Amino acid sequence: MNDVPVIAIDGLASSGKTSVSKQLSKKLKFYFLDSGILYRSIGYIHKLESLDLNSEKEVKNIINNIELLPSKDLQFQVFYKNKDITNFLYSEEIGLQASIVSQYKLVRDLLLFLQHSCVQNPGLIANGRDMGTKVFPNAKLKIYFTADLEIRASRRHKQLLESGINSDLESITNMLKDRDNSDKDRIISPLKAADDAIIIDSSNLKIDTVLDKILELYKISEA
């Protein structure tokens, strides 16, 4: 599937990369993989079943029971033991669990096959933290999102409230700060921009503006 185009989009939590990735998927009619959902899945299962993250046998068994299936909107849903667990994966608590399990090289290595399996025609938008550096180093286009911590916390706070989830802005700010440090400082696949990635600071940019910019960059990459 080397001829299938992949756009790798990495960046900080709540920097706008997921919202833009979803819109980009709709525009290009590409499949959309939010790789964070895989680490959230492992975090969720780890919390549920007390998974030993140092046991290759246990981790393999868990991952062998995970299936990614695209929905009508081209996004991949997560099934564990034939049960759709996608809706259980978006709490702040599971987000922190995801940050913990993502530090295990065994987990990251074993998840590569699942991520690579998502490369399907006509193309894939791969969203995460090491898509351009580790998972899809030969991606046609690589984007790295950044934004101020306070703006990201405000966005996340608003998103949770709109979803009917009570949240505290100060707590969210601290959680995002901890998440940033954990992602950037981990030894295995730390969060960083690929050498050939385009850096986008979304602090003061609207989604439509960013989307237009990326679409233009993709057209150039195809030329």
Tokens found for residue 139: 């991606």
Tell me the mean pLDDT in the region 21-38: 95
CB atoms within 10 A of CB 170: 10
Is the pLDDT assigned to residue 212 strictly greater than 60? yes
CB atoms within 10 A of CB 57: 8
* pLDDT, tens digit, 9 for 90 and up, residues 104-150: 999 999 999 999 999 999 999 999 989 999 999 999 999 999 999 99
Partners of 32 in beta bridges: 75, 125
Helix (H, G, I), strand (E, B) or coil at 198: strand
Q: Model pTM?
A: 0.90
Tell me the mean pLDDT in the region 149-158: 93
Is the pLDDT assigned to residue 90 strictly greater than 70? yes
The residue ranking higher by pLDDT, 190 or 173, is 173
CB atoms within 10 A of CB 187: 7
Mean pLDDT of the chain: 92
pLDDT band at 103 (very low <50, low <70, confident <90, very high): confident
Closest by alpha carbon to 43, among 77, 84, 91? Answer: 91
Tell me the mean pLDDT in the region 13-23: 92
Tell me the mean pLDDT in the region 27-44: 95
Cα(220)–Cα(115) distance, rounded to whole angstroms? 26
114 Cβ contact partners less than 8 Å away, ≥ 6 residues apart: 38, 63, 66, 68
